[in-house]
Amino acid sequence: MKKEKNINNNLENVWGLHAKNSTFLSPAKDDNFIQDPIKKWIPKSKNKNKKLLDAGCGIGQYLDFTKKQGIDSIGLEISSEAAKIGIKKGHKIIIGDMRKMPFKNKEFDIVIAGGSIEHFKETSLGFSEISRVLKKDGYLLFNVPYRYGLFTLAKLVQQVFGIWRCGYEKSFSKRSIKKYLTKNNLIILEIARPPYLATRKIFIAKLLEILDKLSLKVGLGGPHIFLKCKKIK
């Protein structure tokens, strides 16, 4: 119990600090991989009766988008500081843990987990909870760090030197992700590893962008794996 409490405190502190510093205020450029299928699968005219959960919603970056689509959306966030900012923006956000969600079985038509499930060790429990609250034929849209690329190496270096800012974070291969999904009745509809897009005009950022694109050509690279999934039963 004490160990789990320490992990929870670490998660809340890390993401609360990002929220206070206005870090990660909007989805990344490649997050259209999550936004586009929502627009495609759920036309605005049919959104009235659809329910969406953003698990690990931060300050509500995705909720900004889903609200405009007319979807009945709610966020779950472990950081009270991040949740407060999202609530002030007009979003429905509950402070809670992805490993023990305060929602009924089969409550949601769509679950988003954008860069959240990698930040705790109990991955199986996280996917189990997502599957539990997702309706049959519902969609899961999520992304996690990719194991075999320059960014995993860069992350390890930053962790060694104590300059990593995102707390606990693990990386995944395609095979490891598929095992978690299959176990929880989720099938992959589409999978992608978008290339790294430099957001800062500094030499090292542009160099990483070039090296990452070269790595993708040989089957490696890409900072994250993006997946569109469907619950089959």
> For residue 26, what is the domain's CATH number?
3.40.50.150
**Cβ partners under 8 Å of residue 109, min gap 6:** 42, 50, 51, 52, 135, 138, 139
DSSP structure class, residue 55: E
Read off the pLDDT of residues 111-120 as tens digits, 9 standing for 90 and up. Answer: 999 889 999 9
* Comparison of pLDDT for 74 and 203, the residue scoring more: 74
Q: Does 154 reside within a domain?
A: no
Segment 38-49 mean pLDDT: 65
pTM: 0.82
206 inside domain: no
Q: What is the mean pLDDT of the chain?
A: 82
Number of compact structural domains in the chain: 1
What percentage of the chain exceeds 70 in pLDDT? 78
Q: Give me the pLDDT at residue 57, please.
A: 92
Report which of 81, 82, 80, 77 is spatially closest to residue 116, judged by C-alpha positions: 77
Q: Which of 136-145, 183-192, 212-221 has the lowest mean pLDDT?
A: 212-221
Determine, yes or no, domain membership for 138. Answer: yes
Rounded Cα gap, residues 99 and 223, in angstroms: 24
Choose the weakest-confidence range: 134-143, 151-160, 211-220: 211-220
Average pLDDT over residues 53-62: 92
Residue 207 lies in a domain: no
Q: Are 208 and 196 in contact (CB under 8 A)?
A: yes
3-class secondary-structure state, position 63: helix
Edge-to-edge strand list for the sheet holding 93-95: 93-95, 72-77, 51-55, 108-114, 134-145, 224-231, 186-192
CA separation for the pair 138, 157 (Å, rounded): 39
Answer yes or no: is pLDDT of 153 > 90: no
Exposed, middle or buried: residue 132 (CB in 10 Å: 0-12, 13-18, 19+)? middle
Of the candidate ranges 64-68, 116-120, 215-219, the one whose mean pLDDT is the lowest: 215-219
Residue 226 has phi, psi (to 5 degrees) of -110, 135
pLDDT on residue 151: 74
Residue bearing the bigger pLDDT, 170 or 152: 170
* For range 62-90, the mean pLDDT: 91
pLDDT attached to residue 167:
78
Question: Which of 12-16, 61-65, 91-95 is predicted with the least confidence, judged by mean pLDDT?
Answer: 12-16
Is 190 among the domain residues?
yes
Burial 22-56 (b: 16+ CB within 10 A, else e): eebeebbebbebbbebbeebbeeeebeebbbbbbb
In a domain, 13, yes or no: yes
In a domain, 202, yes or no: no
Instruction: Give the model confidence (pLDDT) of 157-212 as tens digits.
Output: 777 777 777 778 889 999 999 999 999 999 999 988 876 665 666 666 666 667 76
Q: Residue 1's pLDDT is what?
A: 40
The reply to whether 34 falls in a domain is: yes
Range of the domain at 62: 2-147+164-195+224-231
- Regarding predicted confidence, which is higher, 170 or 10? 170
